[in-house]
């Protein structure tokens, strides 16, 4: 628990940094002259590169077992790219930094999840990942609030990015402290029942396919924020506050879904697509009040994605293959997220209804695969 909480605190400050920036990157790109299609492609490309490269990072994690080295390098790249957005003078420069930030996350994510899986086996995999995600989202709630405060005071996006240098340094300091306190986190896993040889199971591949559909139909926040700005649904200050609402809901949902996963198993995974289907129409087809409800439902879906979707991977694969499994899972998720984000950006330019229809269809298509995954895993 100490390790989970310490790693969660690192993620808390990290999320203050990059989720604070994420709450305004859509409008910021628009201010620099980017179109809706460009925003969709940039966001999707960031997720594509950030997740596809996890194949390499996951392989290196299993191959080298240098967990801390990979995690520290990844966090450094991930966090230090954010305050540099304050100096971006063109949307192309901002887009590059957004992608570099996702690249850093790609480097450290598989190794971080492997370490978290080791510690979580003792307390319950769902609870461990859920607790980590809840702390992660406390930071994701705080970051947009800090940015909103800076925008309210200065009306300057660049100041909003610059102030995030402080939590970035705090996260890196705590990460180094965690490295000194727990030099070998893999020793925390007392149960070795899943340490078997062999390949990745049929259930895992079915699950990866389902996760790809969830990623393809999941609307990223910058595109939603771009819509609210262009349609006059929310003011400049309200947009990061809406993101803060989603992250607060995300934190609570992660804990709930973590407990449900430990009790119900893979059936708890259905929350991710179903809550997305409920939230997307309210975000894009109605007014401000509906947007608040929609983004809260979106936050529930995100909480399920970031907690139990990762926890399920640890339950499906041998310990020796976890790094590669997380790399494959995130790579497929990211490729599908990129394709879906780019397509939804283009669809939005024709009609918001087209975007909503595609998102709902992709999410619902994942449900039969998730049910089949649960059945195969039980067998």
Which CATH number covers residue 138? Answer: 1.20.1250.20
What are the angstrom distances between the C-alpha of 237 and each of 30, 148, 155?
15, 5, 8
Instruction: Assess whether pLDDT exceeds 50 at residue 193.
Output: no
pLDDT at 125: 82
Domain for residue 321, yes or no?
Answer: yes
Burial of 92 (0-12, 13-18, 19+ CB in 10 A): middle
Per-residue pLDDT of 50-92, as tens digits, reads 777 888 898 888 888 888 999 999 999 999 999 999 998 899 9
Could you read off the pLDDT of 199-233 as tens digits, one per residue? 778 889 999 999 999 999 998 888 888 888 888 88
Structural domains in the chain (count)? 1
User: Does a structural domain hold residue 189?
Assistant: no
Give residue 12's domain range: 2-181+198-378
Structural domain includes residue 312: yes
pLDDT tens, position by position, 17-54 = 988 898 788 888 888 888 877 887 887 777 777 777 88
């Amino acid at each position: 628990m100490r390790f989970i909480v310490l790693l969660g605190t690192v993620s808390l400050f990290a999320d203050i940094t990059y989720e604070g920036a994420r709450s305004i990157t859509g409008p910021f790109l628009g201010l620099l002259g980017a179109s809706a299609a460009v925003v969709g492609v940039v966001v999707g490309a960031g997720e594509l590169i950030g997740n596809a490269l996890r194949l390499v990072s996951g392989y290196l994690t299993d191959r080298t077992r240098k967990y801390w080295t990979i995690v520290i390098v990844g966090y450094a790249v991930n966090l230090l790219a954010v305050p540099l957005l304050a100096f971006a003078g063109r949307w192309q420069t901002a887009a590059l930094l957004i992608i570099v930030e996702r690249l850093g996350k790609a480097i450290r994510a598989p190794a971080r999840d492997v370490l978290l899986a080791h510690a979580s086996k003792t307390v319950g995999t769902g609870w461990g990942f859920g607790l980590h995600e809840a702390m992660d989202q406390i930071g994701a709630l705080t970051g947009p609030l800090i940015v909103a405060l800076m925008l309210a005071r200065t009306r300057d996006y660049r100041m909003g990015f610059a102030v995030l240098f402080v939590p970035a340094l705090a996260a890196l300091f705590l990460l180094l402290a965690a490295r000194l306190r727990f030099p070998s986190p893999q020793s925390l896993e007392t149960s070795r029942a899943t340490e078997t040889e062999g390949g990745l199971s049929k259930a895992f591949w079915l699950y990866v396919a389902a996760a790809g559909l969830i990623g393809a139909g999941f609307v990223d926040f910058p595109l939603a924020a771009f819509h609210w700005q262009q349609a006059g649904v929310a003011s400049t200050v309200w947009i990061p506050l809406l993101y803060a609402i989603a992250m607060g809901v995300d934190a609570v949902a992660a804990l709930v879904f973590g407990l449900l996963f430990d009790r119900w198993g893979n059936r708890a995974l259905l929350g991710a697509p179903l809550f997305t289907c409920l939230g997307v129409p309210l975000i894009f087809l109605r007014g401000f009040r509906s947007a608040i409800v929609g983004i809260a439902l979106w936050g529930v879906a995100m909480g399920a994605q970031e907690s139990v979707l990762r926890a399920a991977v640890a339950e499906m694969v041998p310990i020796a293959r976890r790094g590669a499994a997380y790399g494959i899972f995130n790579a497929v998720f990211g490729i599908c997220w990129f394709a879906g984000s780019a397509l939804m950006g283009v669809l939005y330019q024709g009609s918001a209804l087209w975007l909503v229809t595609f998102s709902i269809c992709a999410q619902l298509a994942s449900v039969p695969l998730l049910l089949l995954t649960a059945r195969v895993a039980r067998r």
